[in-house]
């Protein structure tokens, strides 16, 4: 599993405050070249706020940051954190 943790560091020097998590888990349905992943976006209390899937990710050609980007795009699919619609230019 890949976990990305979002932290706020007050004034760049204070102790970090966790804002949320992005968990990306291999679901075991892919193969050596293509990976399928389950994605969960969690708040600071680790409550799941959104779920998604990334399928057919070319893991031998692409890096971790592309997987993170695709995961976020899949989770938000033109909707904001609260589920409200977002205009295309707002993405």
| Boundaries of domain holding 68 | 2-90
| Model pTM score | 0.80
Q: How far apart are CA 91 and CA 73, in angstroms?
A: 9
**DSSP character at residue 70:** H
Q: What is the pLDDT of residues 24-78, one digit of tens each?
A: 999 999 899 999 999 999 999 999 999 999 999 999 999 999 999 999 999 988 5
Q: Is 10 helix (H, G, I), strand (E, B) or coil?
A: helix
């Amino acid at each position: 599993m890949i976990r990305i943790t979002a932290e706020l560091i007050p004034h760049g020097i204070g102790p970090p405050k966790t804002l949320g998590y992005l968990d990306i888990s291999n679901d075991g349905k892919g193969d050596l070249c293509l990976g399928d992943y389950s994605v969960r976006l969690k708040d600071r209390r680790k409550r799941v706020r959104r779920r998604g899937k990334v399928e057919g990710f070319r893991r031998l050609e692409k890096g971790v940051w592309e997987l993170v980007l695709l995961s976020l795009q899949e989770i938000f699919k033109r909707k904001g954190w609260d589920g409200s619609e977002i205009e295309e230019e707002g993405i």
